[in-house]
Amino acid sequence: MKNGKENAWTILLTAIRIWLGYRLITAGYSSVIDIIFHPKERPFFEKWFGQELHFPMPLLMAFLAKGSELLGGMLLVGGLFTRYAAALVAFTMFIATVTANLGENFNIDGGFTISYFLFAWIFILQGGGKISLDNLIGSQKRKLRHSIVDNQWSMIE
């Protein structure tokens, strides 16, 4: 029975990680593209992050926030540097929640940012799971370490 539960947890963790990553990519991609390549869209971000949220350097802050969503999402989809990506996402979503989504926008965006924050904590604590690039790289490192140790022991004998 343990294997069945373990396999179910592996599949569920992978599905949540990929879904969260996908949602973050879709939330961040167009904003990052607009900030970089569409100068006519920049006043929107300057107004939102500057006049409404009162951040200094609003365009830079918008780029950092939306870039964090995009980068964090891409890393989560692959399960690469999962704990670091999740920490970046959790921090970004916490700031988004307390600065932008606790007031009148809570019913619009607050549920998303709080949910993303909580989901990110799963991956901070659990890592990427068995079906992740982190696990694949980790298993390759373990194999390499074991072969080095075996070779050293054979040289001693």
**pLDDT tens digits for 2-58?**
788 889 999 999 999 999 999 999 999 999 999 999 999 999 999 999 999 999 999
The residue behind tokens 């709080």 is 114
pTM for the complete prediction? Answer: 0.85
What is the pLDDT, as a whole number, of residue 31?
96
The share of the chain scoring above pLDDT 70, in percent, equals: 89
Q: Is 10 exposed, middle or buried (0-12, 13-18, 19+ CB in 10 A)?
A: middle
Residue 47: count of CB within 10 angstroms of its CB: 12
Q: Is 49 exposed, middle or buried (0-12, 13-18, 19+ CB in 10 A)?
A: buried
**pLDDT tens digits for 96-110?**
999 988 877 677 888
Q: Please report which confidence band the pLDDT of residue 156 belongs to, taking 50, 70 and 90 as the band edges.
A: low
**Two tokens at 101?**
């989504």
What is the pLDDT, as a whole number, of residue 100?
86
What is the pLDDT, as a whole number, of residue 144?
66
Whole-angstrom distance, CA of residue 23 vs CA of residue 56: 27
CB distance 114 to 92 below 8 Å: no
**pLDDT tens digits for 101-135?**
887 767 788 889 999 999 999 999 999 999 999 99
Helices (H), the chain: 2-37, 42-46, 58-78, 82-96, 111-126, 133-156
